[in-house]
Structure 1
Amino acid sequence: MKYIVILGDGMADEPLAELGGRTPLEYAETPNMDRIAREGCCGMLRTVPEGFEPGSDIANLSVLGYDPRVSYTGRGPLEAASMGIDLREGEMAYRCNLVTVRDGLMVDFNAGHISSAEGAALLRDLDLVLGGVRVYPGISYRNLLVLPEGRGSLTTPPHDIVGRFIQEYLPRGDDAAVLLECMERSCEVFADHPVNRRRVQEGKNPATGIWPWSGGKRPSLEPFREKYGLAGGVISGVDLLRGIARLAGMEVIFVPGATGFIDTDYKAKARYAVDALDRLDFVYMHVEAPDEAGHMGSVEEKVRAIERLDEAIGLILERPETVVAVLPDHPTPIRCRTHTADPVPFAVLGKGKDGVKGFSEREARKGSFGLMEGAAFLPMLFST
């Protein structure tokens, strides 16, 4: 038997007046997700343990069966693993967004979804003036900052404070002075940078500075094959999931056209997932698009992302002898434009049938699995 988990990042939501009191999942045309629910079994999954921030790092670790209370040190080191950065003893890696701040206000947590090439050009010039601190360009606005002797700091994800003044959310704690110095230097370097001049001329948000957050030291994850006795792989357009895969000894499956944004090639991901099951036992197909639409506050884009993901799932359902599961990692409600810790719906095809009529937050609560804890999900999926 083969197994595939389709993870629609941030796909869960709340009822919206503009959708007639329905959630985006209820409103969207999702015949394939509905088939998984209708012909399979459903439930709700608590992916964020009490006391943790509802980030994709915490939630995806949980879904993969790694208890964040044991394995989590921060988002930065997970992304460092994806980028091939081997953190040395004492080094602290922070996720480092390129952001747009105007008059002290967080206007845009991703600098207008700046391109990877533009981000790399900005960070290359910033790296020249930072001394012992290093910055590494990643994908689009998602980059990395590494302190040689980090001790940790209290930070806030920039997507949580869009439209707010940043002063009260600046880093605090042992690394704060260094982080703030790096942020100030970035503002100086970026102020009249050719990349930003060009972006302003094109009517795009400039990257006015960096925003470091969620720092940590290298974690240790039990190899996936030793944990489950199965060979696993991950498909994702974002460094976070690729980093988790590498630390867990899973295959990172690169897909042309996987962007980590709403323009990703959904069907290419599905085709690569199906092909990978010829050599692997398990594939985790992560799609970032619904989460990005939630952060944008766009009902239309979120519905479109869900529907395009559903079309891709149709390709996966053609593969025989495969247990297929679909779920979000966490909700990213349009109302608040950021993550929440509420349990998420899931549906599994190939583990019995319980009479649920379709896939949604409301319907999944009727499922036979009830409410489960995140780390119990894959053991349930792999059970005979």
Structure 2
Amino acid sequence: MKYVVVIGDGMVDLPLKELDGKTPLQQAKTPNMDFIAKNGSCGMLQTVPPGMAPGSDVANLSIMGYDPKKYYTGRGPLEAASIGAELSDDDVGFRCNFITEDEGRLDDFNAGHISTAEASQLIEALNQHFYRYGKFYLGTSYRHLFVYKKKDAATLESTPPHDVVGEPITEHLLKPENDPLAIKLNELMYKTSKILEKHPVNQKRLDKGKKLANMIWLWGQGTKPQMPPFVDTYGIKGATITGVDLIKGIGTYLGLTNVHVPGATGYYDTDYCGKVNFALEALQDHDLVFIHVEAPDEAGHAGDIQEKILAIERIDRRILGKLLEELPSLGDYAIAILPDHPTPIDVRTHTSDPIPYAMYSPGCESDKTEAYNESSVENSFKNSSKELMEGYKFLKFFIDYSQCKKA
């Protein structure tokens, strides 16, 4: 049996007046998602447990079958595993964004989507000047890591930069403001601006009219987590396909195979076809593949309706269309489509609202949901006897659903 879980990060949304009350998912042409919904089974998941922040870390950990309330320690350590930063028991891993600061405000949480090549030069400069504070590790684009050797720093309060775009930086620094560790790390963030502003990378970006990567933002910190291997928990061998270090980091801790896909960028220009081709290849010797696509989430953060619609349509046509065409040649299979969390255009950040899923395995139960979108799945769900499922229970539910032909 082969399993594929396709995650359209932040894909679901709220009705938009610009779309005459439709969501991007309703507006998009999604014949393959609709096929899965009509011929398979749909429902609603709570991927973000009550009381937890609606981050991609928490939500994707749920989808991949692990209870965040039990295993989540922070976003930083998950990304550390992906980029080869081994944390000791006393280390705290911070997610480190390059941001654009402008007149005391957080102007852009991704520094104009700075390239990894540019970022590597800036990370090198930070390590040269601030090695007494800790160590910076290169990630991808604007997403990097800072490791600090003070375990107590894990208890500080931090804010995701994409939640406070346009707001004064002083209002969203690490807290408590009078905590010695917070004071020291907030001081570090401000000090980096003096080095970054003058760096040749930023001078060239300035000449080209691009946003500057003129400050760092520390957030999502945590200590090294302990999670049981995926193969021991579910009895199958799994792999990840993604352009995002966070998902690769979860995969590393779970013992999944992180398949490198050239051209998988974690942005609008990601190689959708490359992802599905490498996924099909991975299924030759793996039982399950998670295919994660970041583009809808990036469009949600940017408030870009058309890019979100395009990302959804590309997932449908280039990934799901190819999978539905090719998977039968591998024998029995099951496929699921879902987001990790909503990233509504009007909100421009994540929310904790329940998300719709659709799953299909030839010959298994169909509840004949009309289409895969927010209202259609929710209406079908309300008219069924199904209950809102905790997100981490979905993977086992999906695997069990696909066993109908053996019953």
Band the TM-score falls in, shorter-chain normalisation? over 0.9
AA aligned to 1:250 is L
- Aligned-pair CA distance for 1:123: 1.3
- Aligned-pair CA distance for 1:324: 0.3
1:137 corresponds to which residue?
A: 138
AA aligned to 2:4 is I
1:251 corresponds to which residue?
A: 257
Alignment TM-score, normalising by the size of structure 1:
0.98
Structural mapping, 1:185-204, within 5 Å: 185-204=191-210
User: Does 2:393 align with 1:376?
Assistant: yes
Q: Does structure 2 conserve the Cα–Cα contact (< 8 Å) formed by 1:46 and 1:373?
A: yes
Cα deviations by residue, 1:214-235 (Å, 9 ceiling, x for unpaired): 1011001110000000000011
- Aligned-pair CA distance for 1:346: 0.5
Cα deviations by residue, 1:125-151 (Å, 9 ceiling, x for unpaired): 111111331111110000000001231
AA aligned to 1:378 is L
Q: Hey, what's the Cα distance between the residues in 2 that align with 1:42 and 1:93?
A: 37
Q: Does structure 2 conserve the Cα–Cα contact (< 8 Å) formed by 1:183 and 1:209?
A: yes
Q: Hey, what's the Cα distance between the residues in 2 that align with 1:333 and 1:72?
A: 24
Q: Hey, what's the Cα distance between the residues in 2 that align with 1:73 and 1:89?
A: 12
Secondary structure at 1:204's aligned position in 2? coil
1:346 corresponds to which residue?
A: 357
Q: Does structure 1 conserve the Cα–Cα contact (< 8 Å) formed by 2:197 and 2:212?
A: no
1:326 corresponds to which residue?
A: 337
- Aligned-pair CA distance for 1:179: 1.4
Q: Does structure 1 conserve the Cα–Cα contact (< 8 Å) formed by 2:239 and 2:251?
A: yes
AA aligned to 1:83 is I
Q: Hey, what's the Cα distance between the residues in 2 that align with 1:328 and 1:310?
A: 13
2:80 corresponds to which residue?
A: 80
Q: Does structure 2 conserve the Cα–Cα contact (< 8 Å) formed by 1:271 and 1:316?
A: no
1:316 corresponds to which residue?
A: 323
Q: Hey, what's the Cα distance between the residues in 1 that align with 2:373 and 2:366?
A: 16
User: Does 2:147 align with 1:154?
Assistant: no
- Runs of 4 or more off by more than 3 Å in structure 1? 367-370
- Aligned-pair CA distance for 1:304: 0.5
Alignment TM-score, normalising by the size of structure 2:
0.93
Q: Hey, what's the Cα distance between the residues in 2 that align with 1:37 and 1:178?
A: 52
Cα deviations by residue, 1:115-170 (Å, 9 ceiling, x for unpaired): 00111111111111113311111100000000012312110000000111111110
Cα deviations by residue, 1:178-235 (Å, 9 ceiling, x for unpaired): 3112212211101211101100111100011000001011001110000000000011
- Aligned-pair CA distance for 1:250: 0.5
Give unpaired runs (5+ residues) of structure 1. none
Q: Hey, what's the Cα distance between the residues in 1 that align with 2:131 and 2:239?
A: 38
- Aligned-pair CA distance for 1:370: 4.4
Q: Does structure 2 conserve the Cα–Cα contact (< 8 Å) formed by 1:97 and 1:142?
A: yes
Structural mapping, 1:258-273, within 5 Å: 258-273=264-279
Q: Hey, what's the Cα distance between the residues in 2 that align with 1:131 and 1:18?
A: 49
Q: Does structure 1 conserve the Cα–Cα contact (< 8 Å) formed by 2:45 and 2:354?
A: yes
Q: Hey, what's the Cα distance between the residues in 1 that align with 2:158 and 2:240?
A: 28
Q: Hey, what's the Cα distance between the residues in 2 that align with 1:84 and 1:352?
A: 43
- Aligned-pair CA distance for 1:276: 1.1
Cα deviations by residue, 1:323-377 (Å, 9 ceiling, x for unpaired): 0000000000000100000001110011410010110011111145442110110
Structural mapping, 1:1-384, within 5 Å: 1-132=1-132, 133-151=134-152, 152=154, 153-173=156-176, 174=179, 175-312=181-318, 313-318=320-325, 319-320=327-328, 321-350=332-361, 351-365=364-378, 366-367=380-381, 368=384, 369-383=386-400, 384=403
Give unpaired runs (5+ residues) of structure 2. none
AA aligned to 1:347 is A
